[in-house]
């Protein structure tokens, strides 16, 4: 494997990992926002808000970067070869 291909593969893996992290953080923040009032009620803490219903469409849309990042990570070698060809 040439150095340009190794560099491209490392870049593709880094980008895929960052996209996965963004998807996890986005979906996790939404779930945390949803679950916080529920935990406050179960632990007998004062909560000024009633828990909002979980929006499945929002959760699916927030998980799209996670799915795309996993797909890029699976096809990293093919994407890296394509990128190395573009660089040369």
* Cβ contact 8:83 at 8 Å: yes
Look at residue 31 in the predicted model and tell me its pLDDT.
85
* Cβ contact 20:7 at 8 Å: no
CA atoms of 62 and 54, how far apart (whole Å): 13
pLDDT-wise least confident of 2-6, 73-77, 79-83: 2-6
- DSSP alpha helices (H): ranges in 1-88? 3-42, 56-62, 64-74, 76-87
Look at residue 58 in the predicted model and tell me its pLDDT.
87
Q: What is the mean pLDDT of residues 35-56?
A: 65
Q: What is the mean pLDDT of residues 44-55?
A: 63
Domains of the chain, residue spans: 3-87
């Amino acid at each position: 494997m040439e150095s340009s291909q190794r560099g491209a593969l490392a870049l593709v893996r880094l980008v895929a990992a960052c996209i996965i992290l963004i998807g996890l953080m986005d979906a996790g923040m939404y779930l945390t926002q949803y679950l916080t009032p529920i935990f406050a009620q179960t632990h007998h803490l004062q909560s000024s808000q009633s828990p909002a219903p979980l929006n499945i469409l929002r959760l699916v849309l927030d998980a799209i970067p996670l799915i795309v990042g996993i797909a890029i990570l699976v096809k990293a070698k093919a994407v890296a070869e394509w990128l190395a060809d573009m660089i040369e």
